[in-house]
Amino acid sequence: MTASNRHFVQVTGENFTVNGEKILFRGFNLGTWMNLEHFLIGLPGTDTLIKKTFEEVYGKERTADFFDRFLMEYMGEKDFEFLKKIGVNHLRLPFNYKYFIDDQNPGVYKNDGFKYLDHIVALCAKYEIYAILELHSVPGGQNPDWHCDTYSGLPLFWEYGALRDTVIGLWGHIAQHYKDQPWIAAYDIVNEPSLVTNAEVFNDFYRKVLAEIRKYDREHIIFIEGNAFTTDFSMLDPVDDPQVAYEFHFYPFVKDPTVLTHDMSRERRKEIFAEEFHQLLKIREKYKRPLWCGELGLVFEKEDIHFQMEIIEDMLDLCEQNNVSWALWLYKDANVMGIVYPKIETPWRQLTEEIKQVWNQHKEQEKGESLVDYMAETYFQPISKEERYPLQFRMRTIMQAICVEQNLKPYLQKRSWEEMSKLPESFRWENCEHWSELEELIEKYTKA
């Protein structure tokens, strides 16, 4: 069936359907593409800080050229041939608002983002793989963590109506552009809200953004995410829109890191996973709509890959057994969580392996908490775990600024522009390899 006469994906009761037939989404996120994430890409800092540092070293024009080629080289025909071969039927496309909104001129939309999204959506249509557009970074930050490109470590998006109005307008602008594209399955309004304290504000934002999109587009599904990095939906009221569905993310080891140790039996790990997963299934009971696990995944290491595949299998089994669509985080990165990654001899990996000797994100949270504790105990009174949690995010923004200056800029300054300009080619399919173990696991579900 061609795109011109194919129907849109729809919500039908607690299922997703196409032309009346049920579909379960199985696929990947295209993370750290239109929104850089430091540990995935191997460069310290937030998306904005990384690009600002490139500009300081190489100038604005060369930096724009570098990231334009990075975005266009990142995914090509060979990637989609691979995705089609392993049976993937959708990609979640995270993007940063800054591709569409100039912070100094918010009333005028830039259309840079459409160049890159259209590039991927066209490939999705060609290979009959659905795209889900997902806003990963909003003005002021929807959560306190680095992956929403925050400077402050505070979710200021929920504090200022003017910021929310900007995003409401942006979604209307995007809906006008894609309203007739059936290979876009859905719009995912905002990634992982967190530390939201005002239920009225939370619900009002979703009501208004739904109304804005529906001015132009009544066909596409709209995903709503909950609080606490989309694990808590207690604040959110049901909405009167037949094409709304709900999304949660599943990283059970955040709450209980012991599940990642060899000391725990697989049966006990499955019990812990199932307990947390079934708490999330209550979202479906509350709203009577289909569920999508928009993110789940793990850091992969060669020496432990078979054990790690067991963990991924245990998470995916829960999705499959409970009629929950899923998207692994993520498809491609600098050899961290992606199924595809540049080979060690590529220029990108050579740079990031060098940076890795002086910077490692995995200790960042621990250091942030330690610094908050040190500050409190040295100058004030010890503080509670509840107080420490939001403060460590703010401390980490200071650490990121230092790391960019001390652990990114010097490594860029050592490399000529001629050398750096070749880095984006590292992500071409022919310069990459992939985890065959994960390929085989995914085919267990897609080809059953």
| Sequence ranges of the domains in the chain | 10-446
Name 227's bridge partners: 232
Interacting residues of 49 by C-beta distance below 8 A, sequence separation 6+: 400, 401, 404
Looking at residue 6, what is its pLDDT?
60
AA letter at 183: W
Looking at residue 120, what is its pLDDT?
98
φ, ψ at 106 (rounded to 5°): -65, -15
Contact between 203 and 165 (Cβ < 8 Å) = no
Structure tokens at 267: 């049966």
Tens digits of pLDDT across the chain (448 residues): 334 436 899 999 999 999 999 999 999 999 999 999 999 999 999 999 999 999 999 999 999 999 999 999 999 999 999 999 999 999 999 999 999 999 999 889 998 999 999 999 999 999 999 999 999 999 999 999 999 999 999 999 999 999 999 999 999 999 999 999 999 999 999 999 999 999 999 999 999 999 999 999 999 999 999 999 999 999 999 999 999 999 999 999 999 999 999 999 999 999 999 999 999 999 999 999 999 999 999 999 999 999 999 999 999 999 999 999 999 999 999 999 999 999 999 999 999 999 999 998 777 888 888 999 999 999 998 899 899 999 999 999 999 999 999 999 999 999 999 999 999 999 999 999 999 999 999 999 999 8
- Residue carrying the six token digits 């596409």: 220
Q: Residue 49 burial by CB count (10 A; 0-12/13-18/19+): exposed, middle or buried?
A: buried
Helix or strand holding residue 83 (H, E): helix 77-85
Distance between CA atoms of residues 183 and 253, nearest Å: 33
CA dihedral 145, 148, 153, 157 (to 10 degrees): -130
Interacting residues of 424 by C-beta distance below 8 A, sequence separation 6+: 66, 69, 70, 72, 73, 74, 348
Distance between CA atoms of residues 248 and 293, nearest Å: 5
Structure tokens at 195: 């530390």
Q: What is the pTM of this model?
A: 0.96
Distance between CA atoms of residues 355 and 38, nearest Å: 11
**DSSP letter assigned to residue 405:** I
Q: What fold is seen in the domain 10-446? A: TIM Barrel (3.20.20)
